[in-house]
Amino acid sequence: MGTGALEELGAAAAIALLQRGALTAEALVRACLDRIGRDEPRIHAWAWLDPDQAVAAARAIDAAGRRPPLFGLPVGIKDIIDTADAPTECGTLLYRGRRPEKDAACVAALRAAGGLVLGKTVTTELAFFAPGPTRNPRNPAHTPGGSSSGSAAAVADAMVPAALGTQTAGSVIRPAAYCGVVGFKPSHDLLSLQGVHPFAPSLDTLGVFVRSVVDVAPLLTALGAPVEVMELPRPPRIGLWRSAQWSRATPAMQARVEEVASQLVRAGAMVQEVEPLPDEAAVAEGQGLIMAVEAARTFEALRKTSSSSLSLQLRTLLDRGAAASPDEVGVAKERAGRAWTAATRLLAKLDVLLTPSAADEAPEGLTSTGDPVFNRVVTLLGFPAISLPAGTGLSGLPLGVQLVGAPRGEAELLAVAAWVEARLR
């Protein structure tokens, strides 16, 4: 296999070759670094890289007598996730040069499983909406999404076969859709967030970016949530969830979701329309309120001592959270509870819900990371979700469709997602 093809391997395919000895970790890392050297000046996906350190780590894995299950697979790490051998600066000058004493639990788990930290990927400022320098690999004049912008872009550009991100509103699903890769957000609290800089703890969720559904399982297993994706015994039962946010999607995005639904029906799936959840628009607004309140607590010290160094977007959110009343938060949580019950009942009869990953293609310009309008409710409820590439929009940029599963239903969601992915291809 020529070097030109190595960096384009998906995680599962790379692991299979590494396991057989048909590929070395060093060769794969060097191929990734070559791609980074070519494209990083245009994409700006990386906050920190040490090529010599990465190559040395790969050689050590290749030389080990017993190699653990990832066999030296390179992984990008979002720069809000602590790494003992690299800075974690969280996309802000306020943390410039910050060096954690130890790895986050997820990084330690990856290393123990034979994963290789290739580098730290760019995040937006403190994982909120103020953009970093990263550009969309499909068209650098467009945003890659946020806040896991570097992770999504690095996987989309074949700089690395897999990367970690986090989602508090839509920061895995949306950038995955914008960049044309697979983004997976598991159930809330499935994966440890120890050593991941918090934003809103009841919402923060660790996720992964990969190139295909089959790549998700080995990453989840390495991260401490073993999952085996079985073949479906029957075609899936899918709920077409237009949601209360449906009008926020462009006509092209609406049409694409409907086309996907029709395509899956022709392939044998049962697809039925489902009603919006109770008070769904208010539930989405409640996610923003709860996020603001928890972020105000997380960043209370920064708000008091370094407010002028924070972006207007973040200051506005923190001020909103600090001003919110307990009654407002209580109402938002009550509505979320009713929506959780309704969604759980729906998913007792259906395998997944189908909805847009984002309102449209990635917006043009780099001053905004886009709108998480189709992600807020799912994140607030803590359900697992996956974004699958689903063709292109009017500007030729990727569109994504989102599948949502039941809480702790990761294996079932991935099985349906693999079935859907095969039909969309």
In tens, the pLDDT along 9-62 reads: 999 999 999 999 999 999 999 999 999 999 999 999 999 999 999 999 999 999
Q: Where are the domains of the chain?
A: 1-275+343-425, 281-328
Residue 1 has pLDDT above 90, yes or no: no
pLDDT, tens digit (0-9, with 9 covering 90-100), for 249-306? 999 999 999 999 999 999 999 999 999 999 999 999 999 999 999 999 999 999 999 9
Residues 6+ apart with CB under 8 A from 54: 29, 33, 74, 116, 117, 118, 119
pLDDT, tens digit (0-9, with 9 covering 90-100), for 350-392? 999 999 999 999 999 999 999 999 999 999 999 999 999 999 9
Residue 2 has pLDDT above 60, yes or no: no
The model's pTM is 0.97
Alpha carbon 155 to chain centroid, angstroms: 11
Q: Which residue has the higher pLDDT, 301 or 2?
A: 301
Which residue blocks in 233-299 are alpha helix, DSSP H?
Answer: 251-266, 280-298
Euclidean distance between CA atoms 6 and 2, whole angstroms: 7
Buried b (16+ CB within 10 A) or exposed e, 80-99: bbbbbebbbbbbbeebeeee
Q: Which pLDDT does position 280 carry in this prediction?
A: 97
- The one-letter amino acid code at 22 reads A
Q: Which pLDDT does position 67 carry in this prediction?
A: 84
Instruction: Read off the pLDDT band of 4 (50, 70, 90).
Output: low
CB count within 10 Å of CB 305 equals 10
- The one-letter amino acid code at 91 reads G
- Residue whose tokens read 């506005």: 316
CB count within 10 Å of CB 276 equals 17
Mean of per-residue pLDDT scores for the chain: 97
Instruction: Read off the pLDDT band of 5 (50, 70, 90).
Output: confident
Q: In what order do the strands lie in the sheet with 182-185?
A: 46-49, 116-121, 74-78, 162-167, 205-210, 182-185, 385-392, 398-404, 352-356, 237-241, 270-274
- The one-letter amino acid code at 40 reads E
Residue 191 has pLDDT above 60, yes or no: yes
CATH topology of domain 1-275+343-425: Amidase signature (AS) enzymes (3.90.1300)
Q: Which pLDDT does position 425 carry in this prediction?
A: 87
Percent of the chain with pLDDT over 70: 99
Q: Which residues are catalytic?
A: 78, 147, 171
- Residue whose tokens read 């395509």: 263
